[in-house]
Amino acid sequence: MEETDQSSHDIAAAAAADETLERKHAAMLERLSNRHLSRLSGKPDSNSATSFESTQSFLTQFSQSKLSIESHLSRIRENADPNRKPDLESISLEISSLEKLVAENSYFLPPYEVRTCLNTIAQLRQSVDDVTSLVIPKKKFSFKNKPSKKATTVPAEKEVVLSEPEIKLNVGLEKLGFRDLNAAPGFRDRDNEVLVKEFNRTESTGQNGEFTLSNLRDCEVRLKGRLRALFMDKLINCKVYVGAVMGSVLIEGAEGCVFVLASHQIRIHNAKNCDFYLRVRSRPIIEDSNGVRFAPYCLSYQGIEKDLTEANLGEETGNWMNVDDFRWLRAVQSPNWSVLPENERIGMVDVSNVGNVD
């Protein structure tokens, strides 16, 4: 009797054990399926479309975008019409975002894929350039004496963009009392003017000074001769042509500008959609900038060769394209800057025959 009791007890215990095991198993299955579901649903929105962690899915997306860009391009090529310019612009935007996609995924992609993708992007860029020059004939660069009036209609919203890096002006300097910030040599708060300054080469003061360009809009600035340092801040739609700077150039806040500069050092902060034609002894740097493009120096006036040579800037160093982006410390090309395509560059700018207004 006792024995059967014992065995039935055993059976019951075994059944109970079975039950808990089964329950555990079921719970585990449920957990697994939950996790699977969350992985399926969670991934697309949490990681968005920019990171796949899978070479295969990345390549699929990449080639899809590539195909769509190519078909777009060939359509435009067949039907050359100058009104298609916005289309071309949107295509180059697409290419930029494609480049960004590669950059964002570069950390897991094999080096080979990164290289081929970057090559493909370069080819796409090239064909966009080709189509652009086919559809829109290249503009001849001509030197106007006055900046065009129509540019003045842009302001309003642009103000907002540049006010961001603006600093509360010099609380510390006020304490000084005896030094007025605006007394330092420079052009400030001008609108739609041509500003010319020739630095006297014979006086030692002429070449030892610093110069400031601050808060200019739709202006054209020509600085001839040699100077020691150049500070620029808050420039909108300006053209800035500068001879030889024997020290450094510092730019903070520029939008829609063209700069032609020769200098020992160049630092560019908060610049947007600007073109830089540089001769520089060291590597130019950009920080918090985007849409900036670089090309070699192209300025001429009477005596510029002498100015450049004496400032140790007589020879092209090729540094104009060795740009360091402090916001992009990765091996792949920064999306914030590019080399200005040759067919979009301005020609040699001659600022010889303009007098001194200052």
Contact residues toward another protein (CB under 8 A) are 167-173, 175-176, 179, 181, 184-185, 205, 208-210, 212, 214, 228-229, 231, 233, 247-248, 250, 264-265, 267, 269, 281-283, 285, 287-288, 312, 324, 326-327, 329
**Residue 293 has what DSSP assignment?**
E
Among residues 182 and 353, whose Cβ is nearest to another protein? 182
Among residues 73 and 162, whose Cβ is nearest to another protein? 162
Residue burial 130-145, b: 16+ Cβ < 10 Å; e: rest = ebbeebeeeeeeeeee
Positive or negative, the CA dihedral 278, 211, 325, 165 is negative
Rounded least distance, CB 318 to another protein, Å:
13
Q: Are 187 and 195 in contact (CB under 8 A)?
A: yes
Rounded least distance, CB 177 to another protein, Å:
9
Rounded least distance, CB 206 to another protein, Å:
9
Rounded least distance, CB 181 to another protein, Å:
5
Among residues 147 and 253, whose Cβ is nearest to another protein? 253
What phi and psi values does residue 71 have, to the nearest 5 degrees? -65, -40
Helical (H) or strand (E) element with 245: strand 239-255
Among residues 66 and 264, whose Cβ is nearest to another protein? 264
Among residues 158 and 267, whose Cβ is nearest to another protein? 267
Burial of 188 (0-12, 13-18, 19+ CB in 10 A): middle
Rounded least distance, CB 76 to another protein, Å:
39
Q: Shortest CA distance to 256 belongs to which of 289, 296, 297?
A: 289
Burial of 70 (0-12, 13-18, 19+ CB in 10 A): middle
Among residues 154 and 321, whose Cβ is nearest to another protein? 321
Residue burial 262-301, b: 16+ Cβ < 10 Å; e: rest = bbbbbebbbbbebbbbbbbbeebbbbbbbbbbbbbbbbeb
Rounded least distance, CB 79 to another protein, Å:
45
Q: Are 131 and 76 in contact (CB under 8 A)?
A: yes
Among residues 52 and 211, whose Cβ is nearest to another protein? 211
Rounded least distance, CB 66 to another protein, Å:
32
